[in-house]
Amino acid sequence: MDRLLLPGEPQLEVTLRRSAQAKRLSLRVSRLDGRVTLTMPKRAKEREAIAFAYEKADWIRGHLVARPENLVPEIGGWVWFRGAKIPIVEGRGRAAKFVDGVIYVPMESQKVPIRVASFLKLAARVDLTEASEGFAHDLGVSLGRISLRDTRSRWGSCAHDGKLMYSWRLVMAPPYVLRYVAAHEVAHRLEMNHSADFWAVVERIFPDHKDARNWLRVHGEELHQFRFTD
């Protein structure tokens, strides 16, 4: 069994996951998508995990109720863009456009979220490429291909060959936060770790990294509230 359905209102789906590192049963409710995961030690008995999940059902439902609601971009609504709350207004043409602090989107309700996402992805590529190349120049390092994804577990990554991956949702955050993540990943071109030497490199090219890291800890989940596809 890799999942468990708990009866009640609403019915709860719990994913069971064994871990060699786990020393006890533990539950986690994702604040991003509401997924419930029960992690169990490798040798734990499944019936103990099931009993634990039933015992914690009310706790799970309480955490699900506390989750922020998903937001879907629509005409008359808004979306975060470069740290600002930007209104979405009906526009002309085929693509979303940003003009004078407003995002104009052609009025086809089912396509508005997709067009807003496309606009954000294009802007994210521009901002992240510019920031990454600038920090690479400062450090005298080369970069590989830059790719964008809609990741939930990390904001960016750097491979040994210099390929960079970023969450395009970073363009929704204040610019200094996006630039911090770029500085963080480019710094890995010199230090593929999170040692004191690594943080010294980050400090050299982006002195305000502590403020940016704190912003992500406090507000990062807000960037994942928006749903752009079904």
Query: DSSP of 167-185, one letter per residue?
Result: EGGGGGS-HHHHHHHHHHH
- Measure the CA–CA gap between 65 and 43, rounded to whole angstroms: 32
Of 32-46, 117-131, 152-166, the one with minimum mean pLDDT is 32-46
Name the least confident of 66-80, 108-122, 207-221.
66-80
Q: What's the rounded mean pLDDT across residues 77-84?
A: 96
By the 8 A CB rule, do 42 and 22 touch?
yes
Ranges assigned E (strand) in 113-224: 146-149, 156-158, 164-167
Instruction: Give Cβ neighbours of residue 147 (< 8 Å, ≥ 6 apart).
Output: 163, 164, 165, 166
Say which residue the tokens 């439902």 belong to.
61
pLDDT of residue 109: 66
Q: What is the pLDDT of residue 110?
A: 73
Local confidence band at 68 (pLDDT 50, 70, 90 cut-offs) = low
**At residue 1, does pLDDT exceed 60?**
no
Q: pTM of the entire structure?
A: 0.74
